Structure 1
Amino acid sequence: MEILHKPHDGFFRTFFGRTRELGELLQQILPAELFRQLDPGSLKVEPDSYLDEKGREYFSDIAGSATIAGQKHKIYILVEHKSWPNKWVHLQMYHYIYRIWKQELKEQKSSVLCPVLPILFYHGPTRRIDPSLRSLFPPSLSAEIRGRQPELDLIIYNLSLPETIPGSCSATVAAALYSLKYARDNLTALLRVLNRLAREGGTAFLLSPDFKQIQTYIFSASSLTEQEIHQQIYTEVTNPVLQEEFMSTAQLIMQRGRQEGMREKAREDARRMLDKGFSIQDIVDITGLSEQEIKDLQEPHNQTQIHA
């Protein structure tokens, strides 16, 4: 359900948060010489949550690790996903790296720091992103002062730029990347690409669970209306299996969206009734919500009343 409510983050984490897909993504993102320094087969997905001294939990989008070729040392890989500009992403990544180091030093009793590769995966509005943390400092600083500030050079994969998706990746990873690139505001371009991938990947690709997940993301992320989506599918999709798959998925997503919209309206009506002193049973009878749902709404409502 996370893909429906937070389509970009939910899809990115669930699709590329798996070892095989993460490995293929890294092969596309990292410079070839750097990728060759990772031991083949050693990549694994790591827990993505970190605790600070006060026990607060922070989550990166994807965390992984691999051993460095010819060494016993491992390297951490942090991939942060952004679908919209965030000026302070360097600080966010720096915080994650600090937590990794703290955890590693505590658990391993090590006297050396584990290297970390910080990667920013971006597919928001087209813009230039400076990889350097020092770019956030005032430009008027002298070289002597600037050179003594912390540095962090992000590896940036800016999907919003043209020609960022090479032809060497698998059909499912290519479909995922093109979907992240186009689903929000260029469904026509996306459907044309998927037509090509359908020809190359065949029925096995079209009926795979991975492609079903991609379809769910596409229609959850699109800014088009249901009628516009149906029209685009009929106009642009020539593969009959692909057209049928798209239509059934689009209808399912739209139906879920309508149902969720109706339930949210019922919850809003219930909140108003609580304000007016309606009994829980009356609210259940009028809205169709369960008694437990009303009680769940009632608790934060009572807290608001107490602090008002």
Structure 2
Amino acid sequence: MKVQNPHDKFFRETMGNVPTAKEFLHHYLPKNILQVIDLDTIEVQKDSFINQEFKDYFSDLVFRVVISGKEGYISFLFEHKSYPDKAIAIQLLKYMAEIWETKMKKEEVSELPIVIPLVVYHGKSKWRFPLHLGGFLNGFEEMPQNVKEYLPNFHYLLYDLSEYSDEEIKGNAQLRIMLKLLRDVATKSTEEFLQSFYEAIYALLEIEDKQKGIEFFEITLRYVFNAVRDLTKKDMEQIVRQIETTFPEGSEVAMTLADLQEKKEIESRRVFFKVRPGIQWLPRSFA
């Protein structure tokens, strides 16, 4: 079966790696925030703070880090829908409240930690919603400042991948590959996306640890096979040939995954034929 949400899985497997998350923060945090954060203290947290109702739309990653000399948190919220959700600010508020409540209940802290929220979005349409909670409150902007003090408001950092050019995507090989593929899977045709994937293969050669390179290659290839719904047998054969030329270390993995993918496709067609009698079924190679 296809992975239920390949974008979510790809994001978590890549950004859950501390060195890669550190690269993202180093290259994309605003300088004024970066100046108060000690990136050398970053640690990934295993707890998830997303409510069940939002799990189909968002994935979350939380990192503990020293902010201005005290324990704080940087929270990534990855929106993996094809269009932006106006409920994002409300979800972020719930998200931060969950972190604070967990700290209070589990650790009985007397002071709540700072939480800096980041949203990574890779949908087809541009992000069009305010970047602060107050922007969603009717009449908030017209309120006098001494009244706004009684109303909840915070800003969040947004990274709309569709707005980034190749030159603006920075970081180590793993980070650049993930950001480019998440950007292009939502905005380009299958043929164009595969070209982006072939270009990404070259970046794998930058990874000095060959075993880590092969492991991330498998993560990336699984993402491609699961995220692109209309790959043909010809496409997969071309992918294998390209890998054999560019990244031969991953050719065995590529052939294995391509074979598995084709078997899954054939099996899914058999299942469809069984539940829909009277429909002629032919293997792809004969169709």
TM range (shorter): 0.7 to 0.9
Take 2:47 and 2:237, find their aligned partners in 1: how far apart are those partners?
40
Q: Which has the higher contact order (CA 8 A, sep 6+)?
A: 2
Residue by residue, what CA displacement relative to the aligned partner does 1:94-128 show, whole Å, maximum 9, x if unpaired? Answer: 10111111222233433322110101011111413
Aligned to 1:81: 78
Deviation at 1:251, TM superposition (A): 1.4
1:217 corresponds in structure 2 to 223
- Tell me whether 1:39 sits opposite 2:38 in the alignment: yes
Secondary structure of 1:43's counterpart equals strand
Q: Which residue of 1 aligns with 2:179?
A: 177
In the superposition, the TM-score normalised over structure 1's length comes to 0.70
Q: Secondary structure in 2 aligned to 1:41? A: strand
- Going from structure 1 to structure 2, the CA distance change for 1:79 and 1:264 (only over 3 Å counts) comes to farther
Deviation for aligned residue 1:91:
1.0
TM-score by length of 2: 0.74
* Number of equivalences: 263
Match of 2:246 in 1: 239
Do the aligned partners of residues 251 and 213 (structure 1) sit closer, same or farther apart at CA in structure 2, a change above 3 Å counting?
A: same
State which structure, 1 or 2, has the greater radius of gyration over its C-alpha atoms. Answer: 1
Q: Percent identity?
A: 21
Cα RMSD for the two superposed structures: 3.6
1:258 is the counterpart of 2:255: no
Partner of 1:285: none
**Residue deviations 1:158-195, cap 9 Å, x none?**
11113276465112222222221223544144135225
1:59-138 to 2 correspondence within 5 Å? 61-69=60-68, 71=69, 73-84=70-81, 85-129=84-128, 130-138=130-138
Deviations 1:245-286 (A, max 9, x none): 6852651452353266258649968xxxxxxxxxxxxxxxxx
- Whole-Å separation in 1 of the counterparts to 2:50 and 2:138: 31
C-alpha separation between the residues in 2 aligned to 1:77 and 1:14? 17
Candidates 242, 248, 259, aligned match of 2:255:
248
Structure 2 runs not aligned, ≥5 long? 277-287
Cα 1:136–1:40 shift into 2, 3 Å: closer
Aligned 1:18-57 pairs, distance under 5 A:
18-50=17-49
Distance, in Å, in 2 between the alignment partners of 1:76 and 1:242 is: 38
